[in-house]
Structure 1
Amino acid sequence: MVDTFIRHIRNKSIFDPSKIYLLASSGGMDSMCLGNLLTKAEIPFEIAHVNFQLRAKESDEDEEFLRKWANSSGITFHVHHADTYAFASHRNISTQMAAREIRYDWFEKLRAERNLAGIILAHHEDDQIETIFLNLLRGTGIEGIYGMAERRGWLIRPLLIFGRYEIKDYVLKNQLEWREDSSNEKTDYKRNKLRHIGLPALYANSEDARSNLLNSFARLKDTGKAFNALFENWAAQKIKVSEGMQTLPLTDIGRTAGAASLLYFWLRPYGFNSDQAQDILESCQTGESGKLFESTSHLLNLDRDQLILAPLPVDFNSILISESDIDFILTEEKYEIIKLEGKEAIDKTRQNAMLDLERLSFPLEIRTWQEGDRFIPLGMKNTKKISDFLIDLKVPVVKKHTVKVLLSEGQVAWVIGYRIADWAKSTAATRKLLYLKKTINNA
Structure 2
Amino acid sequence: MLLKLQKHLNQNLPFLQDKKLLLAVSGGIDSMVLVHLFQKLNYDITIAHCNFGLRGDESDGDENFIKDYASKNNIKIFVTHFDTNKYALDFKLSIQLSARQLRYNWFYDLMKEKQLDYLLTAHHLDDSLETFLINLSRGTGIEGLTGIPQQNDKIIRPLLPFSRNEIEEYAKENNISWREDSSNASNKYLRNKLRHDVVPVLKSLNTSFMDSFQDTLIHLQQTQSLAEDASVLVYKQVVTEKENQKHININELKRLPNYKAYLYQWLNPFGFTAWYDIYELSDSQSGKQVLSDGYRLLKDREYLILEPIEEPVTNVYEIPEGITEISQPFPIRLISVNKTLKKIENNAIYVDAATLKFPLFARKWQEGDYFCPAGMKGQRKKVSKYFKDEKMSLSEKEKTWLLCSGDQVVWIINKRADERFKVTSQTTQILKIEVL
* TM-score between both structures, scaled by the size of structure 2: 0.89
CA distance, structure 2, for counterparts of residue 143 and residue 225 of structure 1: 9
How big is the shift at 1:414?
0.6
CA distance, structure 1, for counterparts of residue 345 and residue 241 of structure 2: 22
CA contact (8 A) 1:316 1:368 kept: no
| 1:319 and 2:314 correspond | no
| 1:146 and 2:146 correspond | yes
CA distance, structure 2, for counterparts of residue 155 and residue 197 of structure 1: 30
CA distance, structure 2, for counterparts of residue 131 and residue 383 of structure 1: 62
Report how many aligned residue pairs link the two structures: 433
- For 1:205-284, what aligned pairs fall within 5 Å after superposition? 205-242=205-242, 244-254=244-254, 256-273=256-273, 275=274, 277-284=275-282
CA distance, structure 1, for counterparts of residue 332 and residue 91 of structure 2: 46
Deviation string, structure 1 residues 218-273 (Cα, Å, up to 9, x no partner): 21121112111222222222222336443222212235322223223333444422
When residues 125 and 280 of structure 1 are mapped into structure 2, their CA distance, relative to the original with a 3 A threshold, is closer
- For 1:31-430, what aligned pairs fall within 5 Å after superposition? 31-242=31-242, 244-254=244-254, 256-273=256-273, 275=274, 277-285=275-283, 287-312=284-309, 314-321=312-319, 323-326=322-325, 328=327, 330=329, 339-342=336-339, 344-380=340-376, 381-430=378-427
CA distance, structure 2, for counterparts of residue 15 and residue 62 of structure 1: 31
**Secondary structure of the equivalent of 1:178?**
coil
CA contact (8 A) 2:53 2:81 kept: yes
Letter in 2 for 1:113: E
CA distance, structure 2, for counterparts of residue 184 and residue 318 of structure 1: 57
Q: CA RMSD in A?
A: 2.7
When residues 150 and 269 of structure 1 are mapped into structure 2, their CA distance, relative to the original with a 3 A threshold, is closer
Letter in 2 for 1:249: N
When residues 292 and 185 of structure 1 are mapped into structure 2, their CA distance, relative to the original with a 3 A threshold, is closer
CA distance, structure 2, for counterparts of residue 303 and residue 402 of structure 1: 15
CA contact (8 A) 1:347 1:353 kept: no
**Secondary structure of the equivalent of 1:253?**
helix
Identity of aligned residues (%): 35
How big is the shift at 1:152?
0.9
How big is the shift at 1:366?
1.2
Letter in 2 for 1:149: P
How big is the shift at 1:91?
4.4
CA distance, structure 2, for counterparts of residue 71 and residue 233 of structure 1: 54
Deviation string, structure 1 residues 311-349 (Cα, Å, up to 9, x no partner): 435223433345453564646xx556555331x432325
CA distance, structure 2, for counterparts of residue 251 and residue 150 of structure 1: 38
Deviation string, structure 1 residues 265-320 (Cα, Å, up to 9, x no partner): 333444422x2x332322423x4333233333334332333223344352234333
Unaligned runs of 5+ in 2: none
When residues 28 and 301 of structure 1 are mapped into structure 2, their CA distance, relative to the original with a 3 A threshold, is closer
How big is the shift at 1:7?
3.2
How big is the shift at 1:376?
0.7
CA distance, structure 2, for counterparts of residue 264 and residue 204 of structure 1: 36
When residues 76 and 188 of structure 1 are mapped into structure 2, their CA distance, relative to the original with a 3 A threshold, is same
How big is the shift at 1:407?
1.7
When residues 354 and 138 of structure 1 are mapped into structure 2, their CA distance, relative to the original with a 3 A threshold, is same
How big is the shift at 1:422?
0.5
How big is the shift at 1:122?
0.7
How big is the shift at 1:198?
0.6
When residues 244 and 57 of structure 1 are mapped into structure 2, their CA distance, relative to the original with a 3 A threshold, is closer
**Secondary structure of the equivalent of 1:49?**
strand
Letter in 2 for 1:389: Y
CA distance, structure 2, for counterparts of residue 91 and residue 409 of structure 1: 45
CA contact (8 A) 1:50 1:81 kept: yes
How big is the shift at 1:378?
0.8
**Secondary structure of the equivalent of 1:414?**
strand
**Secondary structure of the equivalent of 1:42?**
coil
When residues 137 and 291 of structure 1 are mapped into structure 2, their CA distance, relative to the original with a 3 A threshold, is same
Indicate the larger mover: 289-298 or 430-439. 430-439
CA contact (8 A) 2:23 2:48 kept: yes
When residues 168 and 15 of structure 1 are mapped into structure 2, their CA distance, relative to the original with a 3 A threshold, is farther
How big is the shift at 1:201?
0.8
Deviation string, structure 1 residues 52-85 (Cα, Å, up to 9, x no partner): 3333433332222211111111112222233444
Deviation string, structure 1 residues 140-175 (Cα, Å, up to 9, x no partner): 111112222222122121111222222222222222
CA contact (8 A) 1:254 1:281 kept: no
When residues 339 and 11 of structure 1 are mapped into structure 2, their CA distance, relative to the original with a 3 A threshold, is farther
Letter in 1 for 2:324: D
CA contact (8 A) 1:347 1:354 kept: no
CA contact (8 A) 2:150 2:160 kept: yes
* TM-score between both structures, scaled by the size of structure 1: 0.87
CA contact (8 A) 2:323 2:334 kept: no
How big is the shift at 1:87?
4.0
**Secondary structure of the equivalent of 2:158?**
coil
CA contact (8 A) 2:62 2:179 kept: yes
Deviation string, structure 1 residues 108-146 (Cα, Å, up to 9, x no partner): 333333232222111111111111211212221111122
How big is the shift at 1:399?
1.9
